[in-house]
Structure 1
């Protein structure tokens, strides 16, 4: 063999079987990664809504402490959400700007704040029956959180079903 033929063989590249093996490995990795990513997205969205409604909980508590309990007396300072609609003493729709954040109903010592997953939320949180996250206040002032989302999506402080 002369030098020229040896140089051509070294630069031959990959064989078809080697390329097929690489494509198969990438396919297997993608098949495992995509469902895990979707789970991660749903879990982060439940945690986000828990945080958003937690801010409403603080404002609700402040209004109770200041005696602003009649309808329209309390500005809860809510912001719009692209993944949830709220039902506090006011109602919002996911993805639309809030026109008012004052309470439309009287605040009570045993109130609830409910967020329903909608809009840009993960399909697993909206499918069939939309999942909710609920903060409930007891007469003693303790707040508890619960969600109808599957427990694999629920944050540590808000158990799921």
Structure 2
């Protein structure tokens, strides 16, 4: 007698069906993970500018800082950066995200309230308008453009 060699058509079809089911589950999960990591990376790129803005404010600035390079942010592959740091302390550091279609064009930003006349120093808050699934834990969902 000859021993069977190879696989039957049914066995191959079952394997292809299983791979298809796994791909249908894995691909959306991967895309979600990618978008969330791109938002976090955008926030990480603009966060050091907060410290540099505070340093500039403590040194005393005249006018308004409007260039990202003044706050130590170079060219970014993850976002388009806009900054506005005023002498009264009111500041915005904004990242318009570049990435997957679910986050492209969305905004993540740090905003600082102005110092008041009683000497209270302004506070920083992170805001964003990305989908709630992708928002970093330090942000809320009400970003506005500069």
TM-score interval for Structure 1 and Structure 2 normalised by the shorter chain: 0.7 to 0.9
SS of 2:103's equivalent?
helix
* Unmatched runs of 5 consecutive residues or more in structure 1: 90-104
Q: Distance in 2 between matches of 1:124 and 1:24?
A: 28
Residue 153 (1) aligns with residue 134 (2): yes
CA deviation vs aligned residue, 1:61-109 (integer Å, no higher than 9, x gap): 111011134457x8311121112101103xxxxxxxxxxxxxxx75541
CA contact (8 A) 1:69 1:108 kept: no
2:78 maps to which of 68, 83, 98: 83
Runs of 4+ in 1 over 2 A off after TM superposition: 68-72, 105-108
Larger of the two Rg values belongs to structure: 1
Gaps of 5+ in 2: 115-120
Q: Number of aligned pairs?
A: 134
> 1:57–1:69: structure 2 CA closer, same or farther, 3 Å change rule?
farther
Quote the RMSD (CA, aligned, Å). 2.1
Q: Deviations over 1:104-139 (max 9, x none)?
A: x75541111111113xx111112xxx2100211012
Give the TM-score, by structure 1 length: 0.75
Greater share of strand residues, 1 or 2? 2
Q: Secondary structure at the residue paired with 2:133?
A: coil
Which position in structure 1 is the counterpart of 2:95?
115
